[in-house]
Amino acid sequence: MQTTLLIGHPYDKSFNHVILAKLLERHPSATVINLVADGFNPAMLADDLALFSKGAYADPLVGKYQEILSQTDKLIIIAPIWWYGLPAIIKGFFDKVMLKNFAYTEVNGRLVGQLTHIKETVIITTGIAPAIYLRLFAGHPIGALKKRILKDMGLKQVKWFHKGNVTKSAANNKKWLGAVAKKV
């Protein structure tokens, strides 16, 4: 099973990077897509948009990421929640990489997922707000990603783990991380 770890946090001493290191201990042969370290530009620019409807791309990193994802069986996304949503770099990854004829096709006005070879997807997020607050009062920032976007790409086994109050207790973070690492 080829595991791919996707991270989009700019600060290499963040708890997101601690999570990445822990998961690399458990999955030492995993491929890491570090969007920040790669210099990935999440903005959909004119060159990108001109090719978008054809399922083509201008950014060479898109091809690299598509190649990695085409060999992935398990995808783990690690990201912070900022202002009740995912960072722009993660959103831009979905906008620019998950293109027509790669991540999905259109049949009679319906999207048909093409990434069915990815058998499991795990989304791990961190933030100040607890998961219950995000789900009930902040528009559930992972709800549409989990139940619609990833599903439209053919990803069916999607789990979400969130560590709220991330700045409060290092001991609590460590305990949470140990429990989540065993489940992932």
Residue ranges covered by each domain of the chain: 3-182
- DSSP-based three-state secondary structure for 57: coil
Q: Point out the least confidently predicted range of 86-100, 117-131, 153-167, 168-182.
A: 168-182
- DSSP-based three-state secondary structure for 50: helix
Q: Rounded to whole angstroms, what are the CA distances from 154 to 49, 63, 125, 146?
A: 23, 19, 21, 11
Q: What is the rounded average pLDDT of the residues 147-151? A: 93
Q: What is the fold of 3-182?
A: Rossmann fold (3.40.50)
For 68, other C-beta atoms within 10 Å of its C-beta total 17
Q: What is the pLDDT of residue 148?
A: 92
Q: State the Cα–Cα distance between residues 51 and 76, nearest whole angstrom.
A: 28
Q: State the Cα–Cα distance between residues 152 and 142, nearest whole angstrom.
A: 15
| pTM for this entry | 0.94
Supply angle C-alpha 169, 32, 8, rounded to 5: 55
Structure tokens at 23: 């998961």
Q: What is the rounded average pLDDT of the residues 121-129? A: 94
Q: State the Cα–Cα distance between residues 95 and 91, nearest whole angstrom.
A: 6
